[in-house]
Structure 1
Amino acid sequence: MEQRKARVIIPDHLSFADLGLRRLETGKIEFDWNVVKQICERSEGLPLDHLEEGPDDNVVGLILGWYMVIRENGGETDPVAEQLVAELMGKEDEGASIDDESGRA
């Protein structure tokens, strides 16, 4: 699989809250694609279609990457983003324990 390198630039006028990130009863997340579009327009090597038409992990990776930078810089928490981070960390922990049990740590 081809990996792409991108220089992600968040426009100064955007805040994480502008995404309107929320979780539906189905468990899926919903957000404002216009915010993602503005990020893609300012960024280098980040085509919008890669996020719209690619696996959900692509756009979730962008959202959580942005969120983690905000948190590392003392920014406010977002409850939905916190849930997603916790789920991601849980999946990583499950994978590690499976590897450990198989002796392939």
Structure 2
Amino acid sequence: MEQRKARVVIPDHLSFSDLGLKRPETGKIEFEWDVVKQICESSEGLPLKNLEEGPEDNIVGLILGWYMVIRENGGETDPVAEELLAEVMEKRGESVSTDDESGRT
């Protein structure tokens, strides 16, 4: 499958809190799709359909990418985003194979 690069643009009038990011006891993330739609409309090569109908990793990637830029620029923390970020990092750590018990690859 061919990978295409997207140029993601967050409209100036949007803030991360506009997503209304939540995670109820079901474990599924909830957010305002209208905010994502506005981002897609402002971006190049980022079809909303890929986020709505694609794997959950697609939307989580967009949300965490935005969040990481905010944090890198001194923005406020978001507890749900921090939880998601920790889970993604944990999964990445688990996927690293090791040659021996020392943990070296």
* Alignment TM-score > 0.5, same fold: yes
Q: Distance in 2 between matches of 1:15 and 1:102?
A: 45
Map of 2:40 onto structure 1 = 40
Deviation at 1:2? 2.0
Map of 1:100 onto structure 2 = 98
Does residue 19 of the first structure (1) align with residue 19 of the second (2)? yes
Q: Distance in 2 between matches of 1:75 and 1:65?
A: 13
Identity across the alignment (%): 76
Q: Distance in 1 between matches of 2:21 and 2:76?
A: 14
Q: Return the structure number with greater helix share.
A: 1
Q: Could you say if the C-alpha distance between residues 102 and 54 of structure 1 is closer, same or farther in structure 2, counting changes exceeding 3 Å?
A: farther
Map of 1:57 onto structure 2 = 57
Q: Distance in 2 between matches of 1:101 and 1:23?
A: 37
Q: Distance in 2 between matches of 1:27 and 1:102?
A: 34
Task: Output aligned runs, 1:74-85, within 5 Å.
Answer: 74-85=74-85
Q: Distance in 2 between matches of 1:60 and 1:23?
A: 12
In the comparison of the two structures, how many residue pairs are matched?
103
Q: Secondary structure at the match of 1:3?
A: coil
Q: Unaligned 5+ residue runs, structure 2?
A: none
Q: Distance in 2 between matches of 1:101 and 1:91?
A: 18
What TM-score comes out, normalization by structure 2 length? 0.93
Runs of 4+, deviation exceeding 4 Å: 101-104
Q: Unaligned 5+ residue runs, structure 1?
A: none
Deviations 1:51-79 (A, max 9, x none): 10111111110000000000000000000
* One-letter amino acid matched to 2:35: V
